[in-house]
Structure 1
Amino acid sequence: MSSPENHPAGNPQDSTRPASGTTPGNPGAGQSRPAGAQPPASTAAQTKAGAPTSSAKTSPKAGKKADKPKSPKGEWGVFRTVVVLVGLVLAGFGAYYLITGTSGLPDTDIGTPSPTLESQFRFFAAMMVGVGAAFITIGVKFQWANMLWMVCLMVFIGGIGRVLSWAFSGTPHYLMIILMVIELAFPAALLVWHRYIAKTTEIRNEYAARG
């Protein structure tokens, strides 16, 4: 039997402890990983899940192209052409009546109109030229599309004026009745058409943005 004096001082389990700075399962600063060893599974998973890759990056230009609204140029082109044609017709009639006065109207053989009537008639003929010019400007520039509602309202009110004239002064020439129907129906149809194209353009842009 050996005596206690033959054992080294301290805890007998000290000889089985690993070196300081290392823990079981985790290599310390003083240990090196064997060549060809794979990193822990958790580290590889974090790398795959969190590390950004070059393919995940999106170019700002690509985003701008995707978000760029797409407008139906064909529909807007036809609409603008119609607006310009309406403006040309109105401006043409206005210029004609501005030059000829009341003598350019049908059924004016009754007598010579008074100078007051001529003055008032030529004034409103000039206003017709202005409304026609507004239609043309809206159709060409198309930057003041909201003004289209105003000029259409002006034409519509002019049609109402013809209705009042028919009610209080009698049946006019059939040409005036045709113009009355056009002035009452066409502005409303033009505004509905404008709203339809604007709405369909908005829907197309939303679907393009989602895609």
Structure 2
Amino acid sequence: MHRGLRVLLTLIGVVAMVAGTVSVLFGAAVIPAHGEVSASVDSEMRFYAVWYVAVGVVALRAAPRIEESGAIVGGLAAAFGAAGLARALSWAMVGRPHFTTLVLMVVELALALVLATLRSTAGSPVRRATPPEPPGG
């Protein structure tokens, strides 16, 4: 279970850093069917993209330290859940987004559940079978 969580955190870290960096460099142009956006919206997106890069760094730093990273994994689970719910709120208030955005929403909500489930093992030591006591001893 630890190996799977390490791989997942590494994947999240790399994807977040790459996607965040691309969004910082290209702004709203990376969003499918983005249409015209104001300079303020583009600026805000690039600002939040830097935080996405920061999440990637945190995930990558936590990956090799699973035993000490339970709180970080829980925080990432909560953040992905909140992000997915924020997309759902936008859909309800503004309208249906591009299909790619809907896929991202589902992925974010699924990641929240997977990370929360794996978090329960993050701080648990690996259990090894105890050898039986020798006879008479």
Same fold (TM over 0.5): yes
Q: The residue matched to 2:33 in structure 1 has which SS?
A: coil
| 5+ residue gaps, structure 2 | none
Question: What TM-score does the superposition give when structure 1 sets the normalisation length?
Answer: 0.56
The alignment status of 1:140 with 2:64, answered yes or no, reads yes
Paired with 2:88 and 2:108, the residues of 1 have a C-alpha distance of 11
Q: Which amino acid aligns with 1:94?
A: G
Q: CA deviation at 1:196?
A: 4.6
Question: What TM-score does the superposition give when structure 2 sets the normalisation length?
Answer: 0.84
1:195-206 aligned at under 5 Å gives the runs: 195-196=120-121, 201=126, 204=127
Q: The residue matched to 1:171 in structure 2 has which SS?
A: coil
The alignment status of 1:93 with 2:15, answered yes or no, reads no
| 5+ residue gaps, structure 1 | 1-74
Query: Residues 134 and 151 of structure 1 are in contact (CA less than 8 Å); yes or no, is this contact kept in structure 2?
Result: no
The alignment status of 1:208 with 2:134, answered yes or no, reads no
The alignment status of 1:106 with 2:32, answered yes or no, reads yes
The alignment status of 1:179 with 2:104, answered yes or no, reads yes
Query: Which has the higher Rg, Structure 1 or Structure 2?
Result: 1
Query: Residues 76 and 115 of structure 2 are in contact (CA less than 8 Å); yes or no, is this contact kept in structure 1?
Result: no
The alignment status of 1:120 with 2:44, answered yes or no, reads yes
Higher helix share: 2
Paired with 1:185 and 1:90, the residues of 2 have a C-alpha distance of 16
Give the aligned partner of residue 114 of structure 2: 189
Q: CA deviation at 1:197?
A: 6.6
Query: Residues 74 and 119 of structure 2 are in contact (CA less than 8 Å); yes or no, is this contact kept in structure 1?
Result: no
Paired with 1:144 and 1:197, the residues of 2 have a C-alpha distance of 7
The alignment status of 1:77 with 2:3, answered yes or no, reads yes
Q: CA deviation at 1:154?
A: 1.2
Q: The residue matched to 2:70 in structure 1 has which SS?
A: coil
Q: Which amino acid aligns with 1:208?
A: T
Q: CA deviation at 1:160?
A: 0.9
Q: CA deviation at 1:145?
A: 2.9
1:26-37 aligned at under 5 Å gives the runs: none
**Deviating runs (4+, > 2 A) in structure 1?**
140-145, 196-201, 207-211
Cα 1:81–1:168 shift into 2, 3 Å: same
Cα 1:210–1:101 shift into 2, 3 Å: farther
Paired with 1:131 and 1:98, the residues of 2 have a C-alpha distance of 14
Q: CA deviation at 1:77?
A: 2.3
Tell which deviates more after alignment, 170-179 or 77-86.
Answer: 77-86
The alignment status of 1:157 with 2:82, answered yes or no, reads yes
Paired with 2:98 and 2:121, the residues of 1 have a C-alpha distance of 35
